[in-house]
Amino acid sequence: MSRDWDQLEKWDRAYYLHGLQAASEYSYAPVDSMDGNWFTLADGTRMLDFMSQLISDSMGHRHPAIHAELARAMERYGHVYFGLANEYRARAAKLIIEDLLGETQWAGRARVFASGTDAVESCITMARLYTGKSIILTQAHSFHGMVMGSTMMRGYRANISPAGDFNQVQDIPGFPAQGYIPIPAPEFEDWQGEGRLPSLEATEQIVRAIGGENIAAVITEPMLGGGGTFPHSDYTAGLRDISKRHGFLWIDDEVICGVGRLGEWFGYMHWPGVEPDLIAAGKGLNGSALPVGAVIASKEISEHFEAARWWSGSTWDGHPLVCATIVGNLEYMLANNMLQQVRQRGAYLKERLDGLDAKHPSVGRVSGRGLFYTVDLVNGAGEPIVPEDRYSAFTGDLSDMPHNIVAGENAKRGVFLGGFTPNTIKLGPPFTITQDEIDLAVDSLDQALDVIDEKFVKN
Ligand SMILES: Cc1ncc(COP(=O)(O)O)c(C=O)c1O
């Protein structure tokens, strides 16, 4: 069927409420169709999706196993509200608790939502109800969602640059909200200092000042997704140790890293002996075939809520069609050893990126795990090209920022690959990526980095 893209553009420009770009700078890039690791623009251009959209579509687009389960579910189900049970929510919960987390024994129960943000908000509510305390520690550069509660936990600012002055940035009135206290971001993997990490030292001082008895939880990501930082190897266990000694919970936000992205079912599993109290999951649970999120609670926390009359729930809790996509995805991932595939393809991608690091003076750091890597770009002095780096306020002319230049160069070669913070390129292809497709994307990035070398290192 042919579509009238001119008409659709008019409606999109006139009626859709856009984010990120103001109407005056909005570039219309309509996607006509999606297929495996690729998508096709309305003008017929094919793009290799090397960022899985928002590091979300982990099984590529329209994966047959997920779609087949969804089609079967749609033969019997529409929406079932959470006061009634349905086949798929039981199967999804069993897969998460027994098959993904059974070996570790800490996890008790899971609840399925319609977004990662819902999962984060539920973790915060549960942590506060369970502990009877209110303060939540949140990390610089972190990202946890865009609605009011989760946006108060964001570790970067920049809610809106007003019309007429894109050099300004304003936070939502009320930010930072009472009860959310920032702690430093972790050091990078290649931090070379001696002794205890300064971020942990500073966090412990903040905790002492507040008093552990007032803190409900700390929320962190195993690898910062928006911020694009893989933490130093001492960080996560050190933070967990602080939370245990001072008696508050650890909420592990795995919305971006969970369900295979880092080569483990959940990112925290990279640190032996470390277990969270609550997990917020999302995207990878069903490869983002439908909007999804889930909270996973420890046995103790689960039983606390299960024994109570807990007045909670969203219209979409345990939605049978969402749960069917989780079942389709997880059963396929388990049966086809997708974790092993992520590790193998990831090792190849890392090797190729290390090659770019050796070749390009503008590459300052390559880090990550599984199929999630970041490339940090530097100038001739080895410093971040945009000095604010992960503290960028996203003001002024964004088209000249290194990540956007790289995205533009890659787009010319049919590769969807850029970043979010100005000096950091984020590579997060689908787990179904092939070696040839990795070569195609890395060769494109290689040429994009020639442009960055020329513009920011040699001049
Ligand atoms: C770590 C993290 N937490 C929470 C969220 C919010 O999830 P959602 O966009 O599904 O609401 C995101 C989204 O990118 C995320 O990366």
Each residue's pLDDT tens digit, 245-286: 999 999 999 999 999 999 999 999 999 999 999 999 999 999
Ligand 1 within 6 A of 453 CB? no
Ligand 1 within 6 A of 41 CB? no
Dist CA 33 CA 382 (whole Å): 41
Tell me which residue has tokens 């803190």: 215
Ligand 1 within 6 A of 318 CB? no
Tell me which residue has tokens 């931090």: 191
Cα(253) to centroid(ligand 1), Å: 8
Ligand 1 within 6 A of 144 CB? yes
CB-hemisphere CA count at 13 Å for 145? 24
CA angle 360, 361, 367 (to 5 degrees): 75
Q: What is the separation of C-alpha 206 from the centre of its chain, rounded to a whole number of angstroms? A: 26
CA angle 112, 117, 122 (to 5 degrees): 60
For residue 422, say if its preceding peptide bond is cis, omega within 30 degrees of 0: no
Distances (CA, A) of 244 to 122, 247, 249, 250: 21, 5, 7, 9
| Ligand 1, atom nearest to 253 Cα | 1
Buried b (16+ CB within 10 A) or exposed e, 129-153: bbbebebbbbbbbbbbbeeebbbbb
Alpha helices by DSSP H, 133-257: 148-151, 198-210, 235-246
Ligand 1 within 6 A of 251 CB? no
For each of the domains in the chain, give its residue range(s) and CATH number, in order of start: 5-62+339-457 (3.90.1150.10), 64-335 (3.40.640.10)
Ligand 1 within 6 A of 228 CB? no
Sequence-ordered list of residues with C-beta below 8 angstroms from that of 340, at least 6 positions apart, any chain? none
Ligand 1 within 6 A of 185 CB? no
Cα(46) to centroid(ligand 1), Å: 27
* Residue 69 zone, left/alpha/beta (φ > 0; ψ -120 to 50; rest): alpha
Cα(257) to centroid(ligand 1), Å: 10
**pLDDT (0 to 100) of residue 158:** 58
Ligand 1 within 6 A of 225 CB? yes
pTM: 0.96
Cα(76) to centroid(ligand 1), Å: 30
Closest CA to 207 of 187, 231, 183: 183
Closest CA to 255 of 82, 159, 122, 102: 122
Ligand 1 within 6 A of 145 CB? yes
Cα(255) to centroid(ligand 1), Å: 5
**pLDDT (0 to 100) of residue 257:** 98
**pLDDT (0 to 100) of residue 146:** 77
Ligand 1 within 6 A of 282 CB? yes
Cα(297) to centroid(ligand 1), Å: 18
Residues in the chain with pLDDT < 50?
Answer: none
| Ligand 1, atom nearest to 55 Cα | 14
Ligand 1 within 6 A of 293 CB? yes
Mutation probe of ligand 1 site: the residue of 152, 256, 262 with most atoms within 8 A of C-beta: 256
Q: Whose CA is nearest to atom 16 of ligand 1?
A: 256
| Ligand 1, atom nearest to 224 Cα | 1
Ligand 1 within 6 A of 54 CB? yes
DSSP string, 22-81: -GGG-----EEEEEBTEEEETTS-EEEETTHHHHT-TT-BS-HHHHHHHHHHHTT-S---
Cα(52) to centroid(ligand 1), Å: 14
Ligand 1 within 6 A of 287 CB? no
**pLDDT (0 to 100) of residue 173:** 76
